[in-house]
Amino acid sequence: MRFSKMLIPTLKETPADAEAVSHILMLRAGYVRQLTAGLYIYLPLGLRVIEKISKILREEMNAIGAQEITMPVLHPSEVWQQTGRWYEIGEEMFRLKDRGSRDMCLGMTHEEIIAWLAAREIRSYRELPQIWYQIQIKLRDEARPKSGVIRTREFLMKDSYSLDADEKGLERSYQLHAEAYHKIFSRCGLKFYMVESDPGMMGGATAHEFMAPSPAGEDEFTMCDGCGYAANIELALSIPKEVEAKNWILEEVYTPEKRTVQEVSDFLQLDPEYFIKSILLISDKDPVLALVRGDQELHEKKLNRIIGKHRQAHKEEVKEILGVEAGFIGPMGHRLKIIADACLKEGVYVSGANKPHYHAKGIRPGKEFTAEWNDIHVVKEGDSCPKCNAPLRVERAIEVGNIFMLGTKYSIPMRAFYLDKNGQERPIIMGSYGIGPARIAAAAIEQNNDRDGIIWPKSIAPFDVELLPLNIRDSKTVEIAEKIYKGLTEEGIEVLMDDRDERAGVKFKDADLIGIPTQIIIGEKNLKEGLIEIKDRKTKEAVKVGFREVVEKILQSQIQAETGRAYLKS
């Protein structure tokens, strides 16, 4: 392709409302434009990247026997009502009415539609297993679209769904996907981890996410270098560092106006881990007192699984229920249900004395109070691995893919049944698996850039090579450029030729910004000696070669880049 004929609107300055590196670079390098919050236009370069990624997705999905189909974006409400999600999902679902005032919605995901299809088309165990997938638009009215293309209201998704006769089959399909996903993300040049995740609203018991480490990510996960334990912070378990038990005797200490752990800790000159933080929560049924150690944060989601929906009590409620003002609550002497983090089982602590301006020192859990013990703290860097006790790391990441074992959550309400060998009717066992191509692109940029711009992994770059004839008024330059362009193109190499009548500096800057991995520079000086420069975008290293050897050199490096794949050029 010729640069002069392509829409590549690069920007010299950083757009005011972009913050994430991938967002800034996608805008500056002319890959995308924002229509409004969470809605993006993909320009020619952007589309090429998405298509490169889609191609890899198709190859790897097809390789595990998945079949591509395509389903509507517009759905009738009935199928969603049948599984109950029409009522469970709130404002995140775009809802509308058709002209006959029939309730419709825009698809956020397609479990319902797959189950609907399966209910009609799958009759016998002989037709199982199946894996169906599509690469198609999803719509979600996100509360807060952010970070450019990372969280949008409309986005492309590769979603696949497995249909199996039994749990064993589901495990096999799940495993196939996990392996395909590893290949996909590796081929896309991402650094990533597969971590345990919360199945959340998808239902089902087992789920994993594929996390590409990046400061622009919205998720945090923890990772053990010792045994490989890796989990989303939403459910990660850990053993907090041990605290030496003091031999305090129970006493009340005067702590005027000191309410937070930090304040009391400073006042008494004791580290926060010697404190018990008491938090009053109001659940649907009863108030509950949650206890975590002073150096920990209460994990809302973990607690959610134990006591269900809840919220923090207001100040007045604390006083009313516990008889003390917030800041001086302690775990002793209450009638209500107490849930404490497991690490509090041992040790001697300080906590509120249930008396204004007093704290109690020398509290021994099990003696001064009893509680239900559970892991309800948020994992911190440096905590120990629950499996092997090695130190845990915590990293921020972009969730680029996820896999869920669903079971029969959708097949039963949708009546997706089959007949087994004995002629008995059984629900199909489902799994669902997603990948966001735009997030792959964003993560690739987040992980591969420098001050000059994007550095694409070869596999998903919009072009293989950018050809830079520096001075297109020089006929020799143009002649050679055209030859190389033709030669490479005939070999199946995708070339972007910067044939604009621009100064060399402008072309260099744009080439670095756009981030095509290899640059071929044709300048008058080198040309006089019959030489052309081949420059690597990442290392900035350049080699000079005779212009007749250029095509061959490029071909060689392309083949090297395909390592591990049976790439044959006929």
Partner RNA sequence: CGGGGAUUGGCUCAGAGGUAGAGCACUCGGUUCGGGACCGAGAAGUCACCGGUUCGAAUCCGGUAUCCCCGACCA
- Interaction of residue 220 with RNA, rule CB under 7 A: no
What is the rounded CA–CA span in Å between residue 519 and residue 510?
Answer: 11
Segment near RNA (CB under 7 A); pick from 117-125, 138-146, 441-449, 545-553: 138-146
- Interaction of residue 564 with RNA, rule CB under 7 A: no
- Interaction of residue 512 with RNA, rule CB under 7 A: yes
Q: What is the DSSP string of 5-35?
A: GS-----SSPPTT--SHHHHHHHHTTSEEEE
Q: What is the CA radius of gyration of the chain?
A: 29
Which residues 6+ apart lie within 8 Å of 27 measured at CB? 11, 15, 18, 33, 34, 148
CB of 367 to RNA, least distance (A): 34
- Interaction of residue 319 with RNA, rule CB under 7 A: no
* Nearest alpha-carbon partner for 538 in 457, 459, 437, 473: 457
Pairing of strands 193-196, 207-213: antiparallel
Structure tokens of 316?
């007045």
**206, 388 Cβ separation under 8 angstroms:** no
Please say which residue, 72 or 356, places its beta carbon nearer to RNA: 72
* Residue 274 falls in which region: left (phi positive, over 0), alpha (psi -120 to 50) or beta: alpha
Please say which residue, 452 or 491, places its beta carbon nearer to RNA: 452
* Nearest alpha-carbon partner for 236 in 183, 276, 187, 198: 198
CB of 377 to RNA, least distance (A): 14
Please say which residue, 243 or 280, places its beta carbon nearer to RNA: 280
Please say which residue, 140 or 361, places its beta carbon nearer to RNA: 140
Segment near RNA (CB under 7 A); pick from 20-28, 263-271, 347-355, 486-494: 20-28
* Nearest alpha-carbon partner for 351 in 471, 434, 443, 248: 248
Segment near RNA (CB under 7 A); pick from 88-96, 222-230, 385-393, 550-558: 88-96
Q: Calculate ∠ Cα 453-458-461, nearest 5°.
A: 60
Structure tokens of 191?
């650094």
* Nearest alpha-carbon partner for 329 in 342, 312, 343, 346: 312
Please say which residue, 70 or 539, places its beta carbon nearer to RNA: 539
Q: Which of 60, 273, 295, 510 binds RNA (CB under 7 A)?
A: 510
Please say which residue, 28 or 52, places its beta carbon nearer to RNA: 28
Segment near RNA (CB under 7 A); pick from 333-341, 418-426, 517-525, 556-564: 517-525
CB of 202 to RNA, least distance (A): 4
Segment near RNA (CB under 7 A); pick from 74-82, 116-124, 332-340, 508-516: 508-516
> What is the 3-state secondary structure of 68-82?
ECCCCCEEEHHHHHH
- Interaction of residue 503 with RNA, rule CB under 7 A: yes
Residues within window 143-172 making contact with RNA, judged by CB under 7 A = 143-147, 151, 157
Please say which residue, 145 or 240, places its beta carbon nearer to RNA: 145
- Interaction of residue 36 with RNA, rule CB under 7 A: yes
Q: Which of 2, 4, 5, 17 binds RNA (CB under 7 A)?
A: 17
- Interaction of residue 521 with RNA, rule CB under 7 A: yes
Segment near RNA (CB under 7 A); pick from 264-272, 330-338, 457-465, 466-474: 466-474
Each residue 367-406 as x (binds RNA by CB under 7 A) or -, in order, gives -----------------------------------x-x--
CB of 240 to RNA, least distance (A): 20
Q: Which of 103, 218, 368, 420 binds RNA (CB under 7 A)?
A: 218
Q: Write b or e for each residue in 207-221: b if 16 or more Cβ atoms lie within 10 A of its Cβ, otherwise e.
A: bbbbbbbbebbebbb
Helix, strand, coil percentages (3-state) for the chain, rounded to 5, are: 30, 30, 40
- Interaction of residue 432 with RNA, rule CB under 7 A: yes
Provide the CA 246 distance to its chain's centre, in angstroms.
43
Q: How far is CA 244 from CA 50, 347, 349, 352, 392, in A?
A: 54, 7, 10, 20, 21
CB of 265 to RNA, least distance (A): 23
Q: Which of 82, 260, 283, 526 binds RNA (CB under 7 A)?
A: 526
Please say which residue, 20 or 261, places its beta carbon nearer to RNA: 20
Q: How far is CA 508 from CA 157, 417, 496, 512, 516, in A?
A: 34, 61, 13, 6, 12
What is the rounded CA–CA span in Å between residue 74 and residue 102?
Answer: 12
Please say which residue, 197 or 384, places its beta carbon nearer to RNA: 197
**332, 363 Cβ separation under 8 angstroms:** yes
Segment near RNA (CB under 7 A); pick from 274-282, 339-347, 353-361, 520-528: 520-528
- Interaction of residue 46 with RNA, rule CB under 7 A: no
Please say which residue, 351 or 519, places its beta carbon nearer to RNA: 519
Helix axes 475-490, 550-561, angle to 10 degrees: 40
Helices (H) then strands (E): counts for the chain = 14, 31
Binding site for RNA (CB under 7 A): 10-20, 23, 28, 34, 36-38, 85, 89-90, 92, 108-109, 111, 138, 140, 142-147, 151, 157, 200-202, 218-219, 300-301, 402, 404, 432, 434, 436, 452, 470-471, 473, 503-506, 508-510, 512-513, 521-527, 533, 535, 540, 542
